[in-house]
């Protein structure tokens, strides 16, 4: 029990009731604003069909060009604001950079690139049960919309050769979905002393079709985590994330469905479970007070792809946020 009687009236006047701490809060108390930035790097390598890893030669039995590696960098900008204790509003805008390495029959290799802003997501997180001030156990309804701010017309030169004409890139290389998507979800948060844990179900439900006559498959995500505050500035955590996603519906007439698996709308579905280990760092006082840093890395422990598609090798995410 802290004795705050040594603080002045002004100090008490400016003291936060719900303090941001190293364990993180997911939602915010009334009036709090948070700016966040996350950098994510994803490396995809190794071709999979079902749960089995197959060779390039085997993949070439179905498609003349095979993707051998893909990297994606994402810069995510976040803004959160809580108009009342029970409701936190959130907006997220990603900037993506992607590179896809190809191998053609005959051994030719080339790389194509795409970069630009992705889809803007706006969400509301409403506390159905529990209280942000009491902590302990809370149930939060997540409801959001993804706006099609990302392009579905990402192009690069044929075979990566600047002398050749621009062609529309395959589905996984597009920056956005091109559709308005609903983002319904449910989050459970728990904390007790130095421990925090939680689980979240979040879906991406695509509406209609985009300007290129298709829609990406719906995506469902289930994640659970547990963290422990070793000190008031350091908390490691472990997270398990499962996701599954459907095929593309419709077809973009400018993408050749016979050339690559990634260009075939019926070869996109898959499911995956990632194991991730993270470290949370927090500045409880000093000039950086209120700043939280996190680093998280992981890899799939289970992956089933309709394929032949690139499997995920590893993911690394680093982020910083500041709330006031």
Partner 1 sequence: MRFKATASGTVRACNNMSSDLTQRREGAKTQRNQMLYVRWSIGALVLLTAICLVGSATNVSAQSAVAREYEIKAAYLYNFIKYIDWPPQGLPAGSDTITIGVMGGNPFGPALATLDGKMVKNRKLVIKEAVRLEDLPSCQIVFVSPSETPRMQEILNASNEAKVLTVSEVEGFAARGGIINFIEERNKVRFEINAEAAKRKGFVISSELLKLAKVVKS
- Which residues sit at the interface with partner 1, rule CB under 8 A? 1-5, 7-10, 12-19, 21-23, 29-32, 52-55, 57-58, 132-136, 191, 193-194, 228-232, 236, 238, 275, 277, 284, 299-301
Contact 109, 97 (CB under 8 A): no
CA distance 291 to 287: 9
Give the number of other CB atoms < 10 A from CB of residue 11: 10
Which CB, 69 or 157, lies closer to partner 1? 69
**Within 13 A of 324's CA, how many CA atoms are on the CB side?**
7
CA distance 271 to 273: 7
Which CB, 108 or 231, lies closer to partner 1? 231
* Shortest reach from residue 104's CB to partner 1, in Å: 19
Which residues are within 8 A (CB) of 162 and not within 5 positions of it... i.e. 6 or more apart?
A: none
Cα distances (Å, whole numbers) of residue 136 to 25, 85, 195, 196? 11, 15, 10, 9
Which CB, 11 or 115, lies closer to partner 1? 11
User: E strands along 207-290, which residues?
Assistant: 214-215, 219-228, 234-245, 249-250, 270-282
* Shortest reach from residue 181's CB to partner 1, in Å: 31
CA distance 84 to 20: 16
CA distance 233 to 222: 28
* Shortest reach from residue 103's CB to partner 1, in Å: 16
By the 10 Å C-beta count (0-12 exposed, 13-18 middle, 19+ buried), 75 is classed as middle
Which CB, 82 or 173, lies closer to partner 1? 82
Which CB, 50 or 253, lies closer to partner 1? 50
Contact 306, 268 (CB under 8 A): yes
Which CB, 183 or 310, lies closer to partner 1? 310
Bond into 96 cis (ω within 30): no
* Shortest reach from residue 80's CB to partner 1, in Å: 13
* Shortest reach from residue 10's CB to partner 1, in Å: 7
* Shortest reach from residue 140's CB to partner 1, in Å: 16
Q: Report DSSP state, residue 162.
A: T
Which CB, 98 or 235, lies closer to partner 1? 235
* Shortest reach from residue 66's CB to partner 1, in Å: 15
Which CB, 132 or 173, lies closer to partner 1? 132
Tokens (6 digits) for 280: 């949370």
* Shortest reach from residue 196's CB to partner 1, in Å: 8
């Amino acid at each position: 029990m802290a004795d705050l009687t040594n603080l002045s009236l002004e100090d008490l006047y400016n003291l936060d009731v719900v303090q941001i701490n190293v364990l993180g809060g997911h939602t915010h108390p009334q009036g709090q604003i948070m700016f966040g930035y996350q950098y994510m790097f994803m490396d995809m390598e190794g071709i999979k069909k079902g749960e089995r890893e197959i060779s390039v030669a085997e993949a070439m039995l179905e498609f003349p060009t095979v993707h051998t590696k893909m990297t994606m960098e994402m810069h995510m900008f976040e803004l959160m604001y809580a108009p009342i204790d029970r409701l936190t509003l959130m907006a997220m805008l990603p900037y993506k950079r992607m590179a896809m390495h190809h191998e053609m029959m005959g051994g030719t290799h080339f790389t194509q690139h795409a970069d630009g802003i992705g889809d803007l997501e706006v969400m509301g997180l409403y506390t159905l049960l529990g209280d942000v001030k009491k902590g302990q156990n809370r149930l939060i309804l997540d409801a959001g919309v993804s706006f099609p701010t990302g392009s579905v017309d990402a192009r690069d030169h044929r075979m990566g050769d600047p002398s050749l004409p621009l062609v529309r890139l395959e589905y996984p290389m597009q920056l956005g979905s091109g559709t308005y998507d609903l983002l319904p979800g449910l989050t459970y948060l728990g904390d007790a002393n130095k421990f925090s844990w939680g689980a979240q179900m979040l879906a991406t439900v695509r509406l209609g079709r985009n300007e290129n006559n298709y829609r990406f498959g719906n995506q469902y995500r289930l994640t659970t985590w547990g963290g422990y505050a070793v000190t008031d500035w350091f908390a490691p955590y472990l997270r398990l994330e499962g996701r599954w996603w459907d095929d593309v519906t419709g077809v973009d007439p400018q993408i050749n469905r016979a050339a690559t698996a990634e260009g075939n709308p019926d070869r996109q579905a898959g499911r995956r479970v990632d194991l991730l280990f993270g470290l949370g760092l927090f500045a409880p006082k000093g000039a950086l007070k209120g700043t939280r840093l996190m680093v998280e890395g992981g890899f799939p422990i289970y992956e089933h792809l309709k394929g032949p598609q690139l499997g995920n090798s590893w993911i690394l995410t680093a982020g910083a946020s500041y709330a006031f």
